[in-house]
Each structure stands twice: as C-alpha cells, then as structure tokens.
Amino acid sequence: MEAIKFEKVYFSYKTDGEDGQNGDVFTEAASFALNGVDLSVEEGEFVAVLGHNGSGKSTLARLCNALLTPKEGKITVFGVDTQENKKVFEVRRQVGIVFQNPDNQTVASIVEDDVAFGPENVGIKRAEIGERIDFALKAVGMEEFRYATPTRLSGGQKQRIALAGVLALKPKVMILDESTAMLDPRGRKEVLDVVLRLNKEEKITVLLITHFPEEAMLADRAIVMHKGKIVLQGKPADVLAEEKKLKEYSLVLPRPLRVCRKLTENGLSVADTMSETELTKEILNGLTKDVSVRVPSENSGAGTRLIQEDVEIGGVRCENLSYVYNAKSAFATHALNGVSLQIDSGEFFGIIGHTGSGKSTFVQHLNALLKTPMAEKKYKAKKPKKGQPTPPKTVLTVNGFDLTDKKTDFRALRSKVGMVFQYPEYQLFAETVYEDVAFGLKNFKDKLTKEETDRAVREALETVGLSYDEVTKRSPFELSGGQKRRVALAGVIVTKPEILVLDEPAAGLDPLGKEEIMSLLHKIHGDWCKTVIVVSHDMEEIAENCTRAAIFADGKVVSVDTPKGLFEKVDKMQELGLDVPFTARVCKALKAEGVEIDCDYTVADFVQKTLAYIKNEGAGTRLTSLKEVADNE
C-alpha cells in the first residue's frame, strides 16, 4: 500500500496575486518551491531526500502532514486526501515530523511534559503515556533529563527531545527534516539506529531529509531535489555515484567516494565504496599487483598557522574557567569545570566534543556574552573558609582584554571579537538587509559617514557572496536559509573583528554550502582576521581546515593537538562519543595489515601518501598482517 503519494504537486510561498497575472500559478513569473512533483512512497519504505538548500526538501516534508497544502495537484496519506479539512487531524496522527530546528516544536517547560504532549492530544490512556515517555527518552538517550527544562538544554539535546516527542506518538510515517544536523556522531548514530529499528521491526515508513551521504546510504531509495523538482532517484549507492549530475544540482560527492575517485584517477583502480573495510582491501590488492600510479604533487594539508608578530592580539588564554547555569536554583548545571586552553594568534582553531560538553558555553565567554563572576559589577571576592585551600585563580584574556576584570571595556572587546551563533538566522532582526548588516557599525564605529557605512556594508555582503544591489533593500526574513546565514555572517564581519568565533557555522547547510562557508572563512582569515575559532561536530571539517583543535568532554578540555594528533587515536575519540574522518579509519585498518600511511587525514594528503607508498613498495609485495607476525613470533 502507498503510504504517501504526490500527483503533479505545485506549491509556492507567494500568494496567487504575486505568482503571476490574474492569479495564474502557471505563468512564467511564478516561483515554485515544488514544481510538478510526482512521488510515491510505499508503506514500510525508507526514503532519503537529498538536495541543496532551497531545493524544496522541507516544503515536501510539510506537505506530507498537511502543515502546507498544495496550490495544484493532490497528496494522499494512506489514501486520505490532505486537503480534506475534516481529515487533517487523521493525517497528522499518521505522520510525525521532526523539524530542523527543535525550538520550533518545544511546547512545555519540563521534558517529560513535552514528550507527553502528542500522546495526550490524541487520547492515549495515562498509563500508556508513561510507558511511551520511557520508551522515547530511552531511545534517544535522554532518560536522565526527564525532569529538566528544555530551554536549559544544548541544541543537540533539544533535538533529541523533539525526536522523542514524535517517537512517543508511534506514527505510521516518520519524517526527519535534518533532525540529526546538530547531534554529535554518537548521538546521530543512536538516533538513526532507533529509526532503522522502527522501520524494520515496526514497519514505520521513514522519509529522511539529510545532507549526510552516510545517512542516505541507510535508505532503501534516495531522491535528489533541485529547484522544486525530483531530478534523480534510485538506490543510494547509484545516486551518489553520479558525480557530474550531483555537481549540476549543487551537491558534492561524499568524501569516501572522493577518495576512491582520486585514487582511481591516479592509476590505482578502486571501486566506489563508503566502507573503510572495503577500501582497505582495494588498497592492499593494489600493493600486490603491477600497477602504474601517479603521485600528485605535495599539498599543504590542513590549515596552516599564520605567524603573528603580536601574539596577544588575536590570542586566547584561559585557565581554571568554570561556569554554572542557574547556580542558586534547583536547576543548577555545571557547564564548565576548570577549563584551561590557549589559542595562539593566527590559528584556525577547532573545538569539538559531544552534545552538552560545554563547547558553546566556552565560546560565549570569549566576547563576554557570558561573563565570569569576577567581571560582574556586584562581585565581591569571598574569603576561603578556615582550613580550606584557596581556589585556583581564573584567567581569561581574549585579544588583550582581561575578561575577569569588571573595569574591562566590554564594548570595545565585542568590536574586536565577533560571534556567529549556532543558528545565525536568530541574529537577524532589522527590516532590511542593509540595516541588519550596518547595525554593528553604528554601535561600534559611530563616527562613520554614510558613504563609509555604505562601502563597508557592500564589502561585507560581497565577501559572503551576496549582491549588494540585489539584497540590501529586501527583508532578511524573506531570504533562503543559506542567504540568511550569509547575511548574519556579514553583520559580524562588517566591523572586521580580529577574532572570529563561529558555533557550528555550517550545520544544516548542504555539502556545497559547507565548503563555500569554510572557503569564505579561510579568505577572511587570510585577508584580515587574525584568528578563527570554529565549533563543529564534523570531524572531516576539522581535519580539512584547522591548525589545531581541542576536545571538550563534561565541561573540561581533555585533549589539544593537531587534527592528525587527535584523529590517530581512533579508539579514544570513539570513547568520547566522537567520530574520526574516513581517512583516519582507513589508515587504522591499513596499519593493522602492516601498511602505515603517515598523513594528516585530509583527502588530498591521504591520496598523495597512499599512492607514494604503493609506488615505492612496487608490485608483488607480500602483505603480512600484524596479527600474523605476532602469531609467528
């Protein structure tokens, strides 16, 4: 039976009068989020939906459970027309949706009540509601937060609660709209394991909207959307192998496939695979054959450190920093517990850690959005009790400013340390893009002339890839998600801060959008920004871009090193709930077979060092695994 069926569905966010003359939605002037979509999803099927930002994926999801209704065409859910007003409630009982932003579906002040909201509204008996809450919270690993307040949770934790709220309904169709985007690798795996189990055992139909190719590979079928149309569909492996077509639709190959293609291009023929085990076998086979490989020229690898004459400007020095949310209440939460970290001027520095590890709390201290207790106006130092040791002194110096001193000029600090939040779109507030971007200039550089302000706004918008003439008079709220993020970034860089701090800047963006944002940050870093600090759950992103990175866990810094130094400890990373780049997993598997590839885990360096190893070893090499060596000894 068909769970969901779209028949020639058109949808536009504009009113009929705006779409075209005389309200004709088929005129050339019409702008469609969905443009004649035909789609059939069978009951129990697992379908992944891929596409660039603005391709129509989220619109498709909202149409499935009647949050939106089509302009033209027909949508049915288990045979029920979603446009029948009397059947809307029935449709929404059948189809549960987890949004990209969990704040959009948080309704209660206690986690337990939030999860119970759906079952209560559909008339589930009280005893069963309790069982469903237990099941849902356990499924997403949030049992210990049952009585917590959602607003006090981290972004990733909120997302798990949102998913639990849908799981508690036990719908026949579950739609996940980028619902794992803000989770750490372990959290993402746990959530997807639950979804897979529900799909296989409970026969729940799953529509997964995602930018993670690895997630798409779990599906029975993958479809690619572009400009409101379905342009590719089939088995996930076949769809993701279409490199030229993916580029046409503003998507990029997953990194594992890029590694395979690069090796093949240079003479080592390997099959496309997302599995490190399979690629390891292919490389080992290449060592035993007579192959002629080309070794690409040396590459610079991950981000290089810029040498700065004044190491204080652009630098961060932190010692013994602790922070407690709601310190004098029953909801007291120790977010930071004695953090010590030094970030040097000129670095492109990464901060990684599992959800709730304290990353966002730490970076919000860097421009005094959160202040140390000593910097508060009413702070008075307490004398230690008799017989107790003096607590360690807290040190926090950012860009030459002492953030433990209440006399510090925090306004001047914020003009030098720019902050881009986890959801940059939340930083938008003005009526026009121009006013939004110019706001920082007016606050920090109030003596600028109109011409100087115009010039600075133009430069900031063009730096982030937006046309000054096209967007300045538009409302920031009518832009696409990717455009909003760029405007928010322009509003921060317009003052040209010496330190730029970004909390998950690429989360929720399509792969090409992520690459564009990181390329943009490198340009800013090279041109005028002394230090860039990036919080990220994407280990590939850290490996490809950062000079060094710090791992946060339970409010502490547990390790600081280059990406190479961190990711070669695969087991330790996984113990901390973190993943490692695909190339690091391949290197570990090769090392177990006696082949050691010394690379920095970027795609280019891995390919270069692997091909150099094969060329130097020559054909006919007899491979003996380390286990066999140990057994023979």
234 and 320 share one domain: no
Q: Is the pLDDT of residue 507 over 90?
A: no
User: Does residue 304 form part of some domain?
Assistant: no
402 and 338 share one domain: yes
Q: What would you report as the CA-atom Rg of the chain, rounded to the nearest whole angstrom?
A: 26
For range 427-446, the mean pLDDT: 91
CATH number of the domain that residue 193 is part of: 3.40.50.300
Per-residue confidence at 482, pLDDT binned at 50, 70, 90?
confident
Name the β-bridge partners of 341: 318
CA–CA separation, 57 and 64 (whole Å): 11
Pairing of strands 46-51, 205-209: parallel
What is this structure's pTM? Answer: 0.83
Per-residue confidence at 21, pLDDT binned at 50, 70, 90?
very low
Q: Domain total for the chain?
A: 3
Residue 95, token pair as written in the block: 């189809």
Q: What is the pLDDT of residue 261?
A: 92
Q: Do the Cβ atoms of 488 and 424 come closer than 8 Å?
A: yes
Q: What is the pLDDT of residue 184?
A: 73
Residue 608, token pair as written in the block: 């270069």
User: Does residue 190 form part of some domain?
Assistant: yes
71 and 191 share one domain: yes
User: Does residue 329 form part of some domain?
Assistant: yes
534 and 609 share one domain: no
69 and 209 share one domain: yes
% of the chain at pLDDT higher than 90: 54
Q: What is the pLDDT of residue 549?
A: 97
16 and 142 share one domain: yes
Best CA proximity match to 524, nearest among 558, 506, 498, 560: 498
User: Does residue 305 form part of some domain?
Assistant: no
**Domain endpoint, select from 248, 263, 283:** 248
Contact residues for 544 (Cβ-Cβ < 8 A; gap 6+): 302, 518, 602, 603
User: Does residue 300 form part of some domain?
Assistant: no
User: Does residue 67 form part of some domain?
Assistant: yes
26 and 167 share one domain: yes
Q: Is the pLDDT of residue 220 over 90?
A: yes
Q: Do the Cβ atoms of 54 and 247 come closer than 8 Å?
A: no
Q: What is the pLDDT of residue 20?
A: 43
For residue 29, the enclosing domain spans: 2-248
Q: At what angle do helices 582-591 and 255-265 cross, to 10 degrees?
A: 60
161 and 43 share one domain: yes
User: Does residue 303 form part of some domain?
Assistant: no
Q: Where are the alpha helices (DSSP H) in 276-373?
A: 276-287, 359-365
For range 618-630, the mean pLDDT: 44
pLDDT digits (tens, 9 = 90+) for 82-130: 999 889 988 988 999 988 778 878 899 999 999 999 899 888 898 899 9
567 and 589 share one domain: no
User: Does residue 401 form part of some domain?
Assistant: yes
CA–CA separation, 232 and 299 (whole Å): 35
CA–CA separation, 594 and 622 (whole Å): 10
263 and 216 share one domain: no
266 and 353 share one domain: no
pLDDT digits (tens, 9 = 90+) for 299-322: 655 555 454 555 678 999 999 999
Q: Do the Cβ atoms of 63 and 69 come closer than 8 Å?
A: yes
pLDDT digits (tens, 9 = 90+) for 187-199: 777 778 888 888 9
212 and 288 share one domain: no
**Domain endpoint, select from 575, 591, 618:** 575
Q: What is the pLDDT of residue 250?
A: 81
* Mean pLDDT, the chain, integer: 86
For range 340-359, the mean pLDDT: 93
**Domain endpoint, select from 195, 225, 248:** 248
